[in-house]
Chain A
Amino acid sequence: GENVEQHPSTLSVQEGDSAVIKCTYSDSASNYFPWYKQELGKGPQLIIDIRSNVGEKKDQRIAVTLNKTAKHFSLHITETQPEDSAVYFCAGRGGGSQGNLIFGKGTKLSVKP
């Protein structure tokens, strides 16, 4: 089955700097990779996702890149702000257009003002 590894487990950046979180997956049939942001006391919130037919997707300050050959994908946050501080989870889903997600262990991002 699918296995998703996420690095780093913690990340501290200065406000305005960029943050990058990386994930690798094991199942070459996986075709959907969402990123969720979880703030304290709340449920995971979808912030961006990418499907295997594209290599990059951008939404304002957030971008995700996917390298299918190497089986890894990354989240890039530019011009970080204190409100970006949260735990970020990557996930993968096996072949098919639906099904449960396999999550990485999470990255705690701290943005220092």
Chain B
Amino acid sequence: DSGVTQTPKHLITATGQRVTLRCSPRSGDLSVYWYQQSLDQGLQFLIQYYNGEERAKGNILERFSAQQFPDLHSELNLSSLELGDSALYFCASSAWDRMYQETQYFGPGTRLLVL
């Protein structure tokens, strides 16, 4: 158990709908990353937040957005869903060691199925 929690575990919805995925980082971790895992694209970075602020963006569609709240949990919002958005969505939180090197720990993921 990495200490990162994600809800829900599974989500089934229809095209055109909007969903919200939730992530709670490990205690004390300020940074949250979102990744998408699909069969054809593998694990792809979407977006990173650090202490409530957006830090970096990857291959995130305009239909997707995220935020990190004062309690450090994060939400990934997916709207106007398409069949191709079906995938596993992971969040990872990160910790720094004494040398200020970062390590990422992944949550169990949310499996999204768009019908």
Contact = CB atoms under 8 A, between A and B. Distances in A.
Interface of A: 32, 34, 36, 42-46, 49, 51, 89, 97-106
Contact of A97 (B2, B4, B102): B102
Nearest to A100: B45
B107 A43 contact: yes
Nearest to B44: A103
13 contacts: A34-B104, A42-B109, A43-B2, A43-B4, A45-B106, A46-B106, A97-B96, A98-B96, A99-B56, A101-B104, A102-B45, A104-B42, A106-B42
Main secondary structure of the interface of B (DSSP, over half): strand
Interface string B81-107: 000000000100010100111111111
Nearest to A91: B43
A43 B31 CA distance: 18
Nearest to A102: B45
A81 B48 CA distance: 36
B105 A46 contact: yes
Contacts of B56: 99-100
Most chain B beta-carbon contacts within 10 A, residue among A36, A42, A43, A104: A43
Interface of B: 2, 4, 6, 31, 33, 42-45, 48, 56, 58, 90, 94, 96, 99-109
A104 B41 CA distance: 10
A46 B44 CA distance: 17
A100 B33 contact: yes
B43 A89 contact: yes
A97 B56 CA distance: 14
A44 B2 CA distance: 9
Given A43-B108, A43-B109, A106-B42, A100 B58 contact: yes
